Amino acid sequence: MRKMPLLQVFLAAAVVLAIGAGTALLVHSQTGKSHRALSAAAGHAAITSTSSRARDLLAAPTCAPEVGPVATTVSISTQATPPYFSHRCYYAPANQAFIIHFSNPVFQLKDSSPTSATLVISHSEDPYMAPVPGRPGWATSSSAKAIFVGTPVKAPETGVFSVPALSAGTYDLQIMEQTTEAIATLVVQ
């Protein structure tokens, strides 16, 4: 499966944000063609799948609970290859705000230009970006599903984000400019 060039993914994600809540953008990873779809929440037809099916299609990691106290600062780093996160599991405290240090050391291979990475946190049961069942290479994304969206971090910088308190549970970490392969799990406990 070919991946969509990073610039096309970024532009598609920007269109999703520009369209606003209640909409989704379908993007094909081979052709880069995008199609706008209105969500059911907006009272229109939408491509739907069960949340457990979306979670299965994402192949998100399952993480065991952290033993002992959880730090109030989470350090996350990107990498150039799938799964695009340096770790599969991250941990944060429940019911209190926490800090994320989000490092992006990734440069383009072809011309050594810096990439941008935008961290998105969403509920694992209803991820921000998910593959379209039966449509290999296609994904849907909806800004309405994002609980937290950081500002873009351009390589080789590190962004520092204050994340509002989250209830205990499992969340998906995704990179807006990447495909659905860019996923890690945030366990809030």
Question: What is the phi/psi pair of residue 76, to 5°?
Answer: -125, 135
- pLDDT per position as a tens digit, 25-53: 444 444 444 433 333 333 222 333 334 44
Q: Which CATH architecture has domain 6-188?
A: Sandwich (2.60)
Cα–Cα distance for residue pair 28/140, rounded to 1 Å: 9
Predicted pLDDT at 58: 59
Predicted pLDDT at 159: 98
Predicted pLDDT at 37: 35
Predicted pLDDT at 29: 42
